[in-house]
Amino acid sequence: MISEIVSYLKFGNRFYAVEQTQLNGNNQYYGIILKKTKKELDIESNFNTQTIEELKTRIPKNKPIVLVINTDSILTKQVTSKNNDSLKLVHVAFPNIKVEDFYYEVLTQDENHFVSICRKSYVNELLDNYTSNNLTVLDFTLGNLISSSISNFIESDKIQSSNASISITEGSIIDIKTEVISSEATYKINGLDITNNQLLSFAAALNFVIKSQNLQSSFDDTKKKLSDTFKQKQFANQFLKTSLLSLFIILLVNFLFFNHYYNKVNSLRETALLLEASKTKMISLNEKVQRTEKMAKDILKTSSSKSSFYVNTLINNLPESILLQELNYQPLLKKIKEDKVIESDKNTILITGQTNKSILFSQWVSKLEASNWVSSVDILNFEDLSKSSSTFTVKINTKDDTKN
């Protein structure tokens, strides 16, 4: 389970393989993309292109590729020997070459061996070309030897690749002959239909997934360098993504905290302004109350004034259904004018207010009339404001001999 997770983090669930071969002297690229779903492999797509620039459009950037180098620069020979040492087999197959200048790959099946070689300068130049075109080669193989990874899955005793005819007996390759393949053939491998032009790229991708070790090569160090380079690029890419994601999360959290406290500060500021306004209003009301209280105290302290007696008596006997709006003791008979005597209606109290119960209003008027300090009560106005509310004006005539 852990190895599958690690593999997914490294390579994802898609595997890319490309066979570079030649057709009529021109480069030809046969590619395939395998997709892994749960424990099954399926062909997502396959393609063939004539240029590496077109190949770049088929394979995403920084995705690892298994490259099958199968051009005219690859030489393959078959040898029979009981010796399984790959270097000795190379000397048997190609006795006159300077081994240090060549990459070689060996397929061993009992005493039957296939040896493929290619000049290091050619392979290195090829790999550099892929790198310069932002194509990441993670592994590579030489010639048709990679077909051994699928020989056990093919029922036919003879198959064709893009440039060779391969004979198979009981799952083992017994012969590889390079030839021009004029017609296309299709093979069924584990339920998948594979054409001969996609055979080697499919075998390379499959071998990369199942990690088959049936080939020996002299370029393990080169493949390790390719793998290390890929890991470094992947680490840098993942590190960059992780750093950007972490930075985004930090900025997001910072924004959320800032926004939270900013809103809180704004709320407190608004509360402070509201409290300041309330404080100002309270001070104003307090001053008004103090002035009113002082005025009331001054009136109450004036024993000669009968107004305090009348107001106190009226308020204490006022029903809850009656709301007074104005109480005018000894109202002016005329407007005050300069150099004119102020005339007031002596022994008179003028009251204006509202009531929501006319019966209680009548009872209140009757009670006033019965008071020992009242001479008479006149209803000057009684008008309905609504079905439940009425306004009134009442004139109370007081007795001259009433004392506090």
How do residues 120-138 score in pLDDT, each as one tens digit?
999 999 999 999 999 999 9
* pLDDT confidence of residue 177: 93
With 0-12 / 13-18 / 19 or more C-beta atoms within 10 angstroms meaning exposed / middle / buried, residue 305 is: middle
Written in H, E and C, the secondary structure of the chain is CHHHHHHHHHHCCEEEEEEEEEECCEEEEEEEEEEEECCEEEEEEEEEECCHHHHHCCCCCCCEEEEEECCCCCEEEEEECCCCCHHHHHHHHCCCCCHHHEEEEEEEECCEEEEEEEEHHHHHHHHHHHHHCCCEEEEEEECCHHHHHCHHHCCCCEEECCCEEEEEECCEEEEEEECCCCCCCEEEECCEEEEHHHHHHHHHHHHHHHCCCCEEECCHHHHHHHHHHHHHHHHHHHHHHHHHHHHHHHHHHHHHHHHHHHHHHHHHHHHHHHHHHHHHHHHHHHHHHHHHHHHHHHHHHCCCCCHHHHHHHHHHCCCCCEEEEEEEECCECCCCCCCCCCCECCCEEEEEEEECCHHHHHHHHHHHHCCCCEEEEEEEEEEEEECCEEEEEEEEEECCCCCC
* pLDDT confidence of residue 308: 78
- Domain borders along the chain are 2-218, 307-398
Query: Span 2-218: which CATH code?
Result: 3.30.420.380
Query: Span 307-398: which CATH code?
Result: 3.30.1360.100
Question: For the chain, which residues score pLDDT lower than 70?
Answer: 1-12, 235-241, 292, 295-305, 338-342, 401-404
State phi, psi for 264 to the nearest 5 degrees: -65, -45
How do residues 310-353 score in pLDDT, each as one tens digit?
888 888 888 888 888 888 888 887 777 766 666 777 889 999 99
* pLDDT confidence of residue 295: 59
Q: Confirm whether 2-218 and 307-398 share one CATH topology.
A: no
Greatest C-alpha distance within the chain: 154
Quickly count: other Cβ atoms within 10 Å of residue 258's Cβ: 11
Model pTM score: 0.59
State phi, psi for 154 to the nearest 5 degrees: -105, 130
Nearest to 150 by CA among 171, 125, 133, 132: 171
Q: Rounded mean pLDDT of the chain? A: 85
* pLDDT confidence of residue 299: 47
Side by side, which strands form the sheet with 112-119? 75-80, 112-119, 102-109, 215-217
